[in-house]
């Protein structure tokens, strides 16, 4: 029996589905229009609202909000109608998509921004176009040129763009600049890791950016207490930034008395941050650092002990992670908004 989707009223979702055996599911403009029609009917029923979308040849992505907690029903209605029409026009039978759908629930603002960028940049990463708005079947074009389907809920994205451009007001011509202001590789990594986390037990990334140092310290201690050697946190940094952050913290600690050697202290930091900040598994950390699984377990235990017992250590880690997040999501370089973080 399939597990139930853990949906709730007003939950945000990043939804995707792919053709069976990577079969093309959007072969013509009419295919996309049929999907539009199926979406519009479900939206009219009050089940979902769609904030962003992109249709590729073999798959689609939707950034949407579940209005009454029935995401599975909504996507079933959409895909069933589309597949029936697709099969009828091709005189074929059987499934079209590889599964019912893949859904990643979004738990905070930072994840929502990352998902929006991921949807917009999908055709750019696939080298189908240079700018997101160049792709004919994506919401970036609708926002840039103020066109597109009437069922697209534009308010939240327009507000987000306005915040990114502050103090300037919203202007559609800046849409591509905001969409392309993130590193594509990092963005894809964070979205891939979003599906692996446990949203019910992981606090939002915004706590690491917006709260005072004492709360940051509490957050890090809570994360350390969670680990039993196998649990993985929600990724908000790529692995190379986690290792770089560990190296920077180790340099600051170089004059402090340490219970282990300098090299081991830096390795313990790298292991801890790869686990909690980059969302890496035990096996992945071992491969990243070229060490044994047992060494990873031991290093992570030492990292947790330091986080729990040393205020200086945990505060240094929290401040270093703040700086790493800002490096990963650099300011939008625009004369109207030189100092804004995107995403924020």
Q: How far apart (Å, rounded) are the C-alpha atoms in residues 244 and 250?
A: 10
Task: Please state which CATH number belongs to domain 11-182.
Answer: 3.30.70.1290
User: C-alpha angle with apex 281: 277 to 282, nearest 5 degrees?
Assistant: 115
**pLDDT, tens digit only, all 344 positions of the chain:** 455 567 888 999 999 999 988 899 999 999 999 999 999 999 999 999 999 999 999 999 999 999 999 999 999 999 999 999 999 999 988 899 998 899 989 887 878 988 999 999 999 988 999 999 999 999 999 999 999 999 999 999 988 887 777 666 778 888 888 888 877 887 877 777 776 554 333 334 444 434 434 444 444 544 444 433 334 456 777 888 888 888 888 888 776 665 556 678 889 889 988 888 888 888 889 988 999 988 998 898 888 888 888 888 888 888 888 788 777 765 544 444 444 433 33
What is this structure's pTM? 0.67
The whole-number pLDDT of residue 96 equals 93
Domain coordinates of the chain in residue numbers? 11-182, 202-328
How close are the terminal C-alpha atoms of the chain, in Å? 40
Enumerate the β-bridge partners of residue 17. Answer: 60
Compute the half-sphere exposure of residue 207: CA atoms within 13 Å on the CB side of its CA: 14
Residue 154 CB neighbours (<10 A): 16
Per-residue burial over 26-40, b if 16 or more Cβ lie within 10 Å, else e, is beeeebbebbbebbb
Q: Could you give the 3-state DSSP secondary structure of residue 65?
A: strand
Sheet holding 102-106, edge to edge: 48-55, 59-66, 11-18, 102-106
Residues in the chain: 344
CA distances from 48 to 43, 69, 74 (A): 5, 9, 7
Angle between the 213-226 and 262-276 helix axes, to the nearest 10 degrees?
A: 90
């Amino acid at each position: 029996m399939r597990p139930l989707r853990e949906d709730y009223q007003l939950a945000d979702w990043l939804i995707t589905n792919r053709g069976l055996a990577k079969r093309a599911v959007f072969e013509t403009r009419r295919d996309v229009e049929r999907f539009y029609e199926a979406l519009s009917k479900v939206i009219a029923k009050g089940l979902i609202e769609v904030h962003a979308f992109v249709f590729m040849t073999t798959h689609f992505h939707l950034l949407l909000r579940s209005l009454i907690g029935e995401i599975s029903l909504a996507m079933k209605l959409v895909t069933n109608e589309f597949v029936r029409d697709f099969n009828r026009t091709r005189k074929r039978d059987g499934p079209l998509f590889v599964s019912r759908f893949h859904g990643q629930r979004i738990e905070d603002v930072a994840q929502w921004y990352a998902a929006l960028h991921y949807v917009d940049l999908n055709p750019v990463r696939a080298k189908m176009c240079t700018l997101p708005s160049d792709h004919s079947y994506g919401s970036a074009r609708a926002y840039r040129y103020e066109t597109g389907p009437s069922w697209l809920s534009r308010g939240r994205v327009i507000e987000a763009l306005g915040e990114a451009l502050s103090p300037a007001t919203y202007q559609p011509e800046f849409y591509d600049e905001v969409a392309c202001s993130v590193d594509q590789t990092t963005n894809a990594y964070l979205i891939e890791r979003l599906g692996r986390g446990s949203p019910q037990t992981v606090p939002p990334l915004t706590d690491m950016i917006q709260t005072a140092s004492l709360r940051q310290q509490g957050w890090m201690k809570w994360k350390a207490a969670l680990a039993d050697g196998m649990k993985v946190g929600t990724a908000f940094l790529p692995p190379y930034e986690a290792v770089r952050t560990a190296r920077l913290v180790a340099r600051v600690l170089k004059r402090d008395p340490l219970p282990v050697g300098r090299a081991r202290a830096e390795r313990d930091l790298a292991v801890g941050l790869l686990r909690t900040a980059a969302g890496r598994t035990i096996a992945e950390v071992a491969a990243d650092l070229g060490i044994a699984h047992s060494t990873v377990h031991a290093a992570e235990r030492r990292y947790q002990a330091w986080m729990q017992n040393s205020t200086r250590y945990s505060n240094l880690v929290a401040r270093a992670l703040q700086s790493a997040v800002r490096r990963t999501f650099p300011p939008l370089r625009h004369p109207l908004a030189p100092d804004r973080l995107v995403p924020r």
